[in-house]
Amino acid sequence: MAKPNYSFEKRQRELAKKKKQDEKNARKREARGNGVSPAADDAGADAAATPPAASEAPAATPAAPAPRIHRRAPSGERTGE
């Protein structure tokens, strides 16, 4: 009797998982490119077929906040000592 090749089985599972993730990412990219959220895509084709009105312009994305920078106080000014 032949022994199971666990490495091959593991590799096949990894490939299947990667393929599934790639398909999911492709669907998200397509939905993002069409201006339709993935949740609206599940609702039906009617919602996706209707373009938004000119008055419903997408809101401008706010600028990302600046990163917080923590500077150490000079050793003489520390209060915890």
Number of domains in the chain: 1
pLDDT given for residue 46 in this prediction: 52
Q: What is the pTM of this model?
A: 0.39
Instruction: Flag whether 54 is in a domain.
Output: no
The yes-or-no verdict on residue 70 having pLDDT over 60 is yes
Share of the chain above pLDDT 70, in %: 59
More confident position, 11 or 35? 11
Instruction: Flag whether 50 is in a domain.
Output: no
Domain that holds residue 16: 1-30
Instruction: Flag whether 11 is in a domain.
Output: yes
For residue range 43-68, what is the model confidence (pLDDT) as tens digits?
Answer: 555 555 555 555 555 555 667 777 77
Short-list 57, 27, 19, 46, CA closest to 37: 27
- CA 43 vs. chain centroid, Å, equals 20
Instruction: Flag whether 7 is in a domain.
Output: yes
Dist. CA 75–CA 39, nearest whole Å:
54
